[in-house]
Structure formats: C-alpha cells, structure tokens
C-alpha cells in the first residue's frame, strides 16, 4: 500500500507540464527557485508550490543557502515508477507475444484448410470467424460472422 502512495505522488507530480519543465531545467544542475521561475509565466510563489509537489514526490531536494532556495534532482525518486513501468512492460510484452503466436498458429491452421472438405464452408461460429483472412488461402471463403 505504501508503494501505491509513492507511485501516486510520483505520477501526480509528473502529470503537470510545468513540473516536467522544472525537472528538465534541473538536468543542467542545481538551480535557485528564482532562476527556475524566470522563464515561466507564473509567480515565484507558484513555482515554489510546484517545487513543493516535486519535493513531496521525492523527485527533487530543496536546500536553503542563506536566503536562497536551491533545488536539485533526485533521480532515485523515479525508481518506483521505473520499476512499475518495467513490470507492466514485461507482463504485456509476454501477453502480446503469446497472442501473436496464437494468431500465427490460427493463420497456419487456416491455410491448411484449402483442399480439404472444409474449404469453401461457412466459418460462422468457429474460432476462425471474424479473424482477418486477407492474404490467406481462405480469403475468398464465405464468412457469415460479419
């Protein structure tokens, strides 16, 4: 449950284009909030609030040096989000690969029907009904499933 809260804060922080722009600006190194605010069409206080959201998400660190607030990136703050995306990518890649293999198997099975008693038969109600057949030997076969 704690991981969900971390992910929620991270993705909520990244959802805003201004906060993403601040992270991009910090790629060049530490910066004062004043410098980060200069090119943005908002007040210093507004930028400071955005930095606060990034800070609570663990994406930046704020340090007070005298009267100035300096902000630096915390790349490790993206770790939980990166891990979650990596897990999702691996899961869905396996699913897509399995689907592709299954569809390839069906396409091969469909081409084997030519020259058999099933060639030219209706395909409604079968697993092949509704499957894309263009480019296979079944392309001209009547398909009542449409």
pLDDT in tens, 30-54: 999 999 999 999 999 999 999 999 9
Query: What's the token pair of residue 47?
Result: 């930028």
| Between 132 and 17, residue with greater pLDDT | 17
Structural domain includes residue 114: no
**The whole model's pTM is what?**
0.62
Domain hosting residue 35, numbered range: 2-75
Structural domain includes residue 10: yes
Structural domain includes residue 88: no
Structural domain includes residue 65: yes
- Nearby residues of 65 by Cβ (< 8 Å), 6 or more positions away: none
Structural domain includes residue 113: no
Structural domain includes residue 62: yes
Which CATH number covers residue 55? 1.10.10.10
Beta bridge partners of 61: 72
Structural domain includes residue 57: yes
Total number of domains in the chain:
1
Beta bridge partners of 70: 32, 63
Q: Is the pLDDT of residue 134 over 60?
A: no
| Between 1 and 145, residue with greater pLDDT | 1
Q: What is the pLDDT of residues 81-101, one digit of tens each?
A: 898 899 988 888 888 888 888
Q: What are phi and psi of 85, to 5 degrees?
A: -65, -40
């Amino acid at each position: 449950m704690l991981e969900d809260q971390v992910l929620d804060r991270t993705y909520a922080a990244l959802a805003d284009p201004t906060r993403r722009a601040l992270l991009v600006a910090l790629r060049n190194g530490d910066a004062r909030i004043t410098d980060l605010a200069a090119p943005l069409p908002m007040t210093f206080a507004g930028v400071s609030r955005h930095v606060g959201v990034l800070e609570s998400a663990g994406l930046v660190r704020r340090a007070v040096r005298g009267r100035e607030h300096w902000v630096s990136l915390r790349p490790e703050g993206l770790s939980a989000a990166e891990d979650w995306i990596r897990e999702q990518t691996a899961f869905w890649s396996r699913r897509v690969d399995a689907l592709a293999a299954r569809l390839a198997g069906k396409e091969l099975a469909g081409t084997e029907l030519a020259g058999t008693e099933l060639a030219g038969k209706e395909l409604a109600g079968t697993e092949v009904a509704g499957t894309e057949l263009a480019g296979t030997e079944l392309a001209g076969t009547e398909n009542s499933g449409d």
